Every structure is written in structure tokens, then in C-alpha cells.
Chain A
Amino acid sequence: MVLELQKPRPVWQIMFSTHHTDVGYLYTITGLTFLFMGGVLAMIIRTHLFFPGEGVLISDSATFNRIFTVHGLTMLFLFALPVANGIGNYLVPIMVRYKDMAYPKLNAIAFWMNPVGGALLWLGFADTTWVSYAPYSIIRAPGPAADMFIFGMKILGISSILSSINFVVTILKCKHPDLPLRRVPLFAWSMFTVSLMTIVAMPTYAAALIMMLTDRLGISAFFNPFAGGDPIAYLHLFWFTFHPEVYIFLLPSIGMMYEIIPRFSRKPLYSQASGVFAFVMLGIIGFASWGHHMYSTGMDFTTKVVFMIGTLAAVPASGMHVFNFLATMWGGRIRFAAPMKFAVGGIALFFSAGAGGVLNSAMPLDFITHGTYWVVGHMHLFLVGTIGFGFVAMIYYMFPYITGRMYSERWASVHFVAMFWGTVQTFFTQHLLGLEGMPRRVYDYPPEFTSWTQLNQIATIGAWIIGASFAVFLASLIYYAAKGKPANMNDPWELGGKYYYPVEAKNPHGGHSGY
């Protein structure tokens, strides 16, 4: 079996390689595999909610709870993080003009923790929800599933800390001496920012997981209120990691758009400096807003105000990114090839999701939206609309580089139209469902609320459209990797000028690769 088709190599040579493009390839393929696995779960959830009533598709709520838990975990930790790391592995060494990542073996180890962690999460199939709030996850969550969840997350957490250390060292210590840090391309800056954020944020959750495990074993009671602990402490530890983690998911996608938009606009980036500034600002301010997930836990007024200000403070930096993209496109000779379509669609949805985020963070409105389908719509608009669109754009962009072949522009357009349509239909509708008061994570809803039924059906049809668009994506990835036209490896989209990555950087056995 061969994987990279222009230059056939046996699969074990890629699997046991430590070269950055091979590890990047493994990360990306693993991430996409889990994307489709998590996507199947999403289709099951949405189809089940098409009609009110128990047992529409899933016969019991325990299974339903397990499905949405594993869907969330898969999409966040087994799709979003690995794909960002994969593209980062491909491009960061090239961007800082080094032959490989700083620690190639560590890089491969960090990757191979992902399938292990993924296997634990999938074989356990826990029902704790991805947030796994104490005390449910401690005193009620059943058997080996929740413990396997803890160990799986532990392994994935260690993996992301290791790969973050690798990125930081690669960018700071291995970049070419002629390349000042401020001129490092913005995608590498995004990986740099999220790596620093991971190193600061992730240990907190790692500690919380160990505390949760010992609580479950009954040898401690950090979060168990029936033995003197406090569940709110878990929420603080969790969200201290996972609000910054929101930016860790988001920023690589923004960085990918910075890579795509100037090229397809055939114009220099509007401002490198404001892009760097906005990344660093988000990286710092991202740590000042975790409490907005906890307004309703009995937080006092002053604390709520502090976290609201922290949340709103992140918005101008996000706005600077959007401005930077629009100003770059302004007056450019834009070529709407697939990567550009997805990037521009992603910006539009990023703006919508961000506007919804401002409403969430306003305290009185949060009490209307929190814990409802509004939040589901809001965070999926980020995760599918911004992160998903950015990653898909980048995968189309990297496709000729990885396979040496071109994808079909026509099928990519079909994918784009269906995915954009479906995203808007599903997740905007879920915002409305939230305003109607439907709580999230429910197996069933009362049939007498007819507006809930109608909105759920609209959202489900939208989800099917997204599912169909990804079926097109999968089929065209496989087909055109094998049968596509050979790409012009210097300029696959005929943009003119030197806009693409040097192919020599990909050869793992040819010694040093130049830029």
C-alpha cells in the first residue's frame, strides 16, 4: 500500500518516520479519520432529534448521552487539534527555514499518543459530556467508561503539551538567523501563540483530571461535595484550561486564512504587524474570560462584571483579523479557487459567530442563552463555520503539495455550497431554538412545543446537507489523490509568481531540505 502517490513509498516508511512532513501527514490523516467518525455521530444525533419522542432512532437516553459526549470529544481533541498540528508540522519548519522540527522523535511520540488516546475515548464511550462536570463525573458516571475518558484525555493532554514545546522551540531556536521573529509568516505565528497558550493552560486540566480520578477512586474529595469538596473548583480548573483552548482551536484556522487570502488575492498582506499583535492579544486576553462559562453557578456580581470585561476585551483583536483579511482582499485580483472560497466563507461565519459571542458575554443575555441550544449553535458556528472552513480551505490548499495531484474544482464548489448552506441552516436555527428555551444535551423534547419540533427539523435537514457535503469531500479526496491530474507543483492555481511551497522540503530521505 502506498500513501503519497506521486512518490510511492511503503506505508510503514511513513508510519515510523520522524520527518516533519510525514508526521504532519499522519496527524492530518488521523484528524480527518476522526472527523468522519465524529460526523457519523453528529448525523445520528440530529436524525434522532428530527421527531419528538423517545426511541426515534436511539432506543435509550444512556446511548444518546454517550454519543454526544464522544462526538464532542472527537471533534475537539481528535479532529481540531491533530489537523492543526498536522498542517503546522508541514509548514512551520518550512516557514522558519529549518530542515525539520526541533525534536523529531518527540514529534513522532506526540503524534502516536493521539491514536492511543482516541482509542481510549472511543472504546470507553463515556457519558460524562465533554465538560464532565463534577460531581456527576465523580459520583454518578458509570464504570470503566469515565475512567477511560480520564486516561484518554490525560494522554491527549500530554501529547498536546509535547507538540507545543516542539513548536515553540522550533520557532524560537531553529528559525533561520536572517529571519526576524516579526517577519515569520502569520500561520507560524498562530502556531506559536497557541503552543504557548497550551503550555500555560493545559497543566491545569491535567491536574484536574488526576484529582477527578482520585475522587472517583474515593481516596480524595477535591470536587465531591458529599465529602467536603467543591464542584465549583472543578469548573474553575476546567474552564481556566478550556476557555483558552477555544482560542487554541481557533487561531490555527485564522493563521491558515492568513496563508491563503493574500495568495489568492494576488496582493501582499495588508498588515503583518496587526496580525501578530492580534494573535498575541488573543493569546493573553484568552486567559481573562473563563468565568463567562460560569455566570449562573452563583457567581457574585463583581466577578461576573470582571469576566464580562475580560470576554469583551478579546473582541477588538478578533475584529483586527477580520479587518486584515478584508483589507487584503480589497482591490486584489481575487481568484475564487476552492481554498479561497472556504476561507472567505469562514470569515463571514467567524463574524456571525463572534457577534453571537458578544451577546453571550453580556450578563443579562447570558441567563437567557446559557445551557440552551443557542450555545450549541454558537460554538458550532465557530467550530464548523470558522475552524472547519479554515481547515477545509487549507486541506484543499495543501492537496497538490501532499499528493502531487489536483482536486476537482467543480466538486469542491459543490462541497462549498452545500457546507455553507448547511452550516447556516443548522446553526443559525439552533440559535433560535435556544431562544425558544430548548436545553442542550436532551434526548427528547415535549411534542406539544411545536416550534421546537419545527426548528429541530430545519436544523436536522441542514445537518444532513453538511453530512452530504462531507461525503463529497471524502470521495473527492480519495478519488483525486489517486486519479487527479498531475499538479503544476510551483503554482497549482496559476496565480502567477512564486506562491507555493518547495517540493524538496518533502523528501524525508534526501538530507537537508532548503527553502
Chain B
Amino acid sequence: MGHDTAEWVFVAIVIAVLCYVGVDSWIVQKAVEDVPANAEVIKVTGQQWYWSFEHADGTKEISTLHVKKGHAYVFEIYSRDVMHSFNIPDWVVFEDAVPGHVNHAWFAPDTVGTYPIQCREYCGLLHYNMRGSLVVEDDNAT
């Protein structure tokens, strides 16, 4: 009955592991949320059931987003109807689009290619098909 040394040691090990997880995620998350000052703003709007984008220079795109390799971008995420979640899995861009709120996420792609964009929060009938694509282009190509 009661506690003994083995149990205290076990609990201490668990707490030590948790402290490591906590401190490490604090450090990583702090770094991840640090938006570079020169990041270009892209407005992202989710609505049933597609994404639309507006670049800083006023260019508008629907479903397909073109960005340049090596630049930093910060997304301003809006929703026009229900909750959505803007997600580029390959670049770990993930933030909810909440009507009445503006949320932010940023990334700086460093490889050229085409990547899927999707919605990760249930938003109704065609939630499964609320997909788009991200095209990362070489900077000197244009």
C-alpha cells in the first residue's frame, strides 16, 4: 500500500519527459510564429467551397495560388460563411478561417513545385472537395 520509491521515480521520469516536450515546443513554436518583417501579405478567403486569394499588388486568383520561391508570405485568412481551415500540408501552413476574425499564418517556400491546398475543418456538403493548389515558381523565371 501507499507510494514507494519506484512510483516516485516513474512519476519523476514522466514529468521530466513532459518538461522536455513543453520547453521544446515553446522554443519551436516561438520561432515558427516569428513572421519575417519583409513578408508579403496574401489575403486568403474561404467560402463554401473554394479558396480565393488576393496578392499585395491586387492580383486575384481562385483555387490556384502562385508564389515565388525564396520569398516570405504571410496569409491573412478570412471566411465568408462558415468555419474553414486553410491548409497546405506540405508546408505545414494551417490556420482556421473563422467568420468575423482575421487569422494569420506564414511560410517561405524554398523548393519549386505544385502542392495541394485543402480545407481541414468540416464546412458542409463539399468539404471534401474544397481543394486548390499552390504553385511555387522560380523567382528569375518571370
Chain A interface (Cβ within 8 Å of chain B)?
61-62, 65, 127, 129, 133-136, 139-140, 225-226, 229-232, 268, 271-274, 296-298, 301, 304-305, 308-309, 312-313, 315-316, 319-320, 323, 327, 358, 361-365, 367-368, 370-372, 436-437, 439-446
Contacts and interface: CB of A to CB of B under 8 A. Distances in A.
Nearest to B83: A133
Contacts of A230: 100
A183 B126 CA distance: 55
8 contacts: A65-B122, A65-B124, A273-B1, A297-B98, A316-B14, A320-B11, A363-B25, A442-B128
A304 B18 contact: no
A65 B82 CA distance: 16
A298 B29 contact: no
B34 to A, nearest CB: 10
A371 B87 contact: yes
Given A327-B7, A437-B90, A271 B2 contact: yes
B131 A312 contact: no
B119 to A, nearest CB: 7
| B interface residue count range (under 10 / 10 to 19 / 20 to 34 / 35 or more) | 35 or more
Given A308-B25, A316-B14, A296 B99 contact: no
Contact of B95 (A268, A296, A316): A296
A315 B116 CA distance: 35
Nearest to B10: A323
Contact of B3 (A271, A371, A440): A271
Given A231-B99, A273-B3, A309-B22, A364 B122 contact: no
Contacts of B15: 316
Nearest to A272: B1
A371 to B, nearest CB: 4
Contact of B120 (A298, A372, A436): A372
Interface in B74-104: 81-83, 85, 87, 89-90, 92, 94-96, 98-104
A304 to B, nearest CB: 7
A441 B125 CA distance: 11
A305 B26 contact: yes
B7 A133 contact: no
Contact of B127 (A271, A313, A315, A441): A441
B128 A445 contact: yes
B112 interface: no
The 7 closest A-B pairs by CB, nearest first: A437-B89, A225-B100, A371-B120, A442-B128, A362-B25, A298-B103, A136-B82
